[in-house]
């Protein structure tokens, strides 16, 4: 989970903060997401609220150059007098408490940042919204946000039997509908809806991902996506991502190799510093050559 704290007048951005509960070892797609946060948004620091800490595993070296701060965190077992019944509800609470302390941007660990999030920090509160639901996977709050405090107060009515009741449905019903002036809702640009299963994981490339601010990839629910080129039980890797013919393959290659084109097996993954330098020079890391095999038109249903 990631929070980016804005400095005065938004001249610079300080910590993003990620809660990770019982997830010390990095997997391959963690590298993709964290690289996107740094390369495309360029925070000075990423704070990781974790238990245990820090990162471990064979992919840690691929994050060299990113300034992580690890904050050992005791994930709460109760909130406002209500016992928390499910571990992921505890991480829902931690993200709100971290934003109240630091302010800035919260991102779920499986969010891919496409471009700078600075424009969204102009608001006291901003988030993905649609009728009947807010998205707590990408949150943009000033630390003194009035909406944020009202959001936390909804946990007085915590219901641990429902997966997303307190995370998305209740704050929409109790807070957003009655205090819509306190939050900037973005139904587009912060892509967190279920339709992303199809557009990210189905062939061929869905080029419009480049126009977004950030995308909640919902990777753990890939098995709900139709026409995924890989079976859901096959995880993404340094090998199969090189010619994965969908939008997820494109966005992953952009922060690994500096291109969305297919990449030969002998091409090494570039360092974070190399990719950041390319972006600073104005190079398009998401470029796809017209003759590329992965530049076919995207489809949501099987071709006839």
Lowest mean pLDDT among 136-145, 183-192, 199-208, 275-284: 199-208
| Joined tokens for residue 189 | 């640009």
3-state SS, 264-275, equals CCCCCCCCHHHH
Q: How far, in Å, CA of 143 to CA of 17, rounded?
A: 13
pTM of the model: 0.88
| Joined tokens for residue 183 | 């939050």
Q: How far, in Å, CA of 184 to CA of 206, rounded?
A: 27
What is the assigned CATH class of domain 2-190? alpha beta
| Joined tokens for residue 154 | 């909804």
The burial of 149, by beta-carbon neighbours within 10 Å (0-12 exposed, 13-18 middle, 19 or more buried), is given as: middle
Query: Is pLDDT of 17 > 70?
Result: no
Query: For residue range 53-70, what is the model confidence (pLDDT) as tens digits?
Result: 889 999 999 999 999 988
Query: Is pLDDT of 296 > 70?
Result: no
Residues carrying CATH 3.90.550.20, the chain: 2-190
* Residue among 229, 238, 167, 162 nearest 202 (CA): 229
222-229: average pLDDT = 71
């Amino acid at each position: 989970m990631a929070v980016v704290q804005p400095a005065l007048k938004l001249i610079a951005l300080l910590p993003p903060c990620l809660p990770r509960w019982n997830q010390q070892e990095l997997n391959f797609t963690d590298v993709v997401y964290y690289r996107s946060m740094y390369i495309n948004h360029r925070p000075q620091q990423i704070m990781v609220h974790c238990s245990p800490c820090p990162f471990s595993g064979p992919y840690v070296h691929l994050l060299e150059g990113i300034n992580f701060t690890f904050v050992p965190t005791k994930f709460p077992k109760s909130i406002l007098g209500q016992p928390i019944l499910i571990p992921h509800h505890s991480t829902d609470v931690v993200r709100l408490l971290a934003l109240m302390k630091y302010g800035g941007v919260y991102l779920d660990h499986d969010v891919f940042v496409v471009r700078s999030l600075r424009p969204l920090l102009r608001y006291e509160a901003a988030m993905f919204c649609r009728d009947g639901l807010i998205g707590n996977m990408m949150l943009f709050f000033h630390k003194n946000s009035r909406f944020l405090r009202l959001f936390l107060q909804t946990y007085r009515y915590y219901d641990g039997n429902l997966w997303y009741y307190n995370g998305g449905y209740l704050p929409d019903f109790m807070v957003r509908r009655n205090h819509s002036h306190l939050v900037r809702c973005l139904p587009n640009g912060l892509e967190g809806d279920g339709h992303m299963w199809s557009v990210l994981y189905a062939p061929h490339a869905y080029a419009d991902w480049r126009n977004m601010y950030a995308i909640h990839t919902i990777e753990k629910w890939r098995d709900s996506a139709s026409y995924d080129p890989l079976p859901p039980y096959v995880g993404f890797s340094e090998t199969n991502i090189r010619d994965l013919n969908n939008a997820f393959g494109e966005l992953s290659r952009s922060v690994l190799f500096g291109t969305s084109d297919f990449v030969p097996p002998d091409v090494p993954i570039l360092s974070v510093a190399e990719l950041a330098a390319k972006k600073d020079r104005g190079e398009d890391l998401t470029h796809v050559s017209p003759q590329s095999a992965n530049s076919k038109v995207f489809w949501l249903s099987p071709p006839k």
